Amino acid sequence: MNVYAASNLLKTIKKRRLSIDADIVKLALDYAETAHKGQLRATGEPFINHSIATATTLADMGMDESTVLAGILHDIHEDTLCTLEDIEKNFGKDVARLVEGVSKLGRVKYRGVERYIESLRKMFIAMAEDIRVIMIKFADRIHNLQTLYALPPHKRKRIAMETLEIYAPIANRLGMEKIKSELEDLSFQYAYPEEYAWLQAQTVERYHEAERHLKIIKKQLEKELQHTNVKYLAVEGRGKNLFRLYKKVLQHNRDIGKVHDLIALRIIVETVPQCYTVLGIIHRRWTPIKGRIKDYIAQPKPNGYQSLHTSAFCDHGEIVEFQIRTKEMHEEAEHGIAAHWRYDESDIKRVSKKLAWVEELRKWKEDIKDNEKYLERLKIDVFQNRIFVFTPKGDVIDLPEGATSVDFAYHVHSDIGNKMTGARINGNIASLETSLKSGDVCEIIVDKKRRGPNLDWLSFVKTNTARGHIRNSRRSILSLPSILEFAKKGRFKNKR
């Protein structure tokens, strides 16, 4: 057993002030170590390290004792000779049920329409029975992603895609920002290796510079706060998570120069009035940017998120985003539904209100036998305004509502978009502007000799990715005289 990791688990429990008996945790660790004896992970480490890592993530989420214990024991039922009865005898019914729930969920795969829907259903059923099972799956998945490098490349890609398509949206729906970001950032490099490398290369320097500025601004802000006697619990700077930045860059036609809030300063205080005081202090010190002040305390986001946001021009003209919130808001923003385990009874109503949709999804499963209809309903809730369209090979492409086969083609690969001449939807030839529906199987017909896309497509495509590629490729195949024409009109001049 990795002694350092084990003591880190105990430290996390202490730091998060969880009422979990350290002796029982040690017992569970010994029990799991014995059960997994001789088993190695693909990385070559003893299996128990995976159990410890899973439990530590759960403790950091602030989960209860049963869940943390089940995190230690979650692979025992599947991979060893120990029985559920044995677990129940040693650690109680609650823990045994959770372990059973995780094993039942098994290995969720995402390839192919039928299996994809089946996986989602399984997740929702498990969630409706006991939401803690999903938390264990999240924690389990995070360590699997952290050690993904040890698996062969084709497996890496599948697991990473499955995480982005199934796990991250659910974490998002449960308001679990921290878990969601981790799942996305860990998957990004394996799901889209070229894009990841491209973004890294683009951002490395800007991040360094931004971080240098951030340190200075942090010091200045702390000084101001001390000056005005505002008690703050923390001022922390952080970069945007890379996958979210990626999505944002795509919205801006791959122009990173247009993404201004690369980094943010987060200020955590005790009370709501202090939040507004801090906002005032920031606005007095730096010039706020019009239209960027958002009061999510008075008007929370639909998922319950609360904070004050503002962006300001700081001393050297750099733009910094500030997020101001109380400790409770912070806890809720980071851990979402998991945060509620900490304040049991009083908040249970809010928890169950949030969970009503899970129960609803579970019921649909009984009512709707038709897969297509099920996905249709699903998208309204969990995957708001998104549709999932399949390639003939069964890969899922996630698109906004109303997207067409041209959007689909560009999301698969820019070359496919540029060379496409037609599309088959569910086996039938369809016009290019036909809107796709969730569950559609879309096949793109290409002509390798085609020189590029048709500018008319710009009138019906829905994604910025498609729009950007169509514009760019038209530009590159314009004849010389028209390039000169463009230059005369100043179209190539840098806007800045």
Active site residues: 78-79
What distance in Å separates the CA atoms of residue 256 and residue 249, rounded to the nearest whole number?
6
Choices 19-27, 71-79, 151-159, 423-431 (CB under 5 A): range interacting with Mn ion: 71-79
Angle between helices 177-191 and 242-251 (to 10 degrees): 70
Secondary-structure percent of the chain, ordered helix, strand, coil, rounded to 5: 60, 10, 25
**Neighbouring-strand partners of residue 386:** 400
> In the complex with Mn ion, which residue's Cβ is closer, 48 or 397?
48
98: how many CB neighbours lie within 10 A of its CB?
24
CB of 121 to Mn ion, least distance (A): 21
Q: Which residues ranging from 428 to 457 are in contact with Mn ion (CB under 5 A)?
A: none
CB of 75 to Mn ion, least distance (A): 4
Interior/surface letters 179-196, b for 16+ CB within 10 angstroms, e for the rest: bbbbbbbbbbbbbbeebb
**Contact by Cβ (8 Å): 372, 439:** yes
Angle between helices 177-191 and 153-162 (to 10 degrees): 150
> In the complex with Mn ion, which residue's Cβ is closer, 73 or 161?
73
> In the complex with Mn ion, which residue's Cβ is closer, 182 or 443?
182
462: how many CB neighbours lie within 10 A of its CB?
17
Residue 321 found at the interface with Mn ion (CB under 5 A): no
**Contact by Cβ (8 Å): 87, 99:** yes
Choices 132-140, 225-233, 248-256, 367-375 (CB under 5 A): range interacting with Mn ion: 132-140
> In the complex with Mn ion, which residue's Cβ is closer, 183 or 382?
183
378: how many CB neighbours lie within 10 A of its CB?
22
CB of 58 to Mn ion, least distance (A): 12
CB of 140 to Mn ion, least distance (A): 4
Residue from the set 33, 64, 65, 75 that interacts with Mn ion by CB under 5 A = 75
Residue 140 found at the interface with Mn ion (CB under 5 A): yes
Residue 60 found at the interface with Mn ion (CB under 5 A): no
Choices 65-73, 134-142, 159-167, 313-321 (CB under 5 A): range interacting with Mn ion: 134-142
> In the complex with Mn ion, which residue's Cβ is closer, 74 or 157?
74
Q: Which residues ranging from 152 to 181 are in contact with Mn ion (CB under 5 A)?
A: none
Residue 242 backbone class (left: φ over 0; alpha: ψ -120 to 50; beta: rest): alpha
- Say which DSSP state 441 is in: B
384: how many CB neighbours lie within 10 A of its CB?
12
Size of the site for Mn ion (CB under 5 A): 2
Q: Which residue is nearest to Mn ion (CB)?
A: 140
> In the complex with Mn ion, which residue's Cβ is closer, 73 or 314?
73
CB of 54 to Mn ion, least distance (A): 6
CB of 137 to Mn ion, least distance (A): 9
Residues at the interface with Mn ion (CB under 5 A): 75, 140
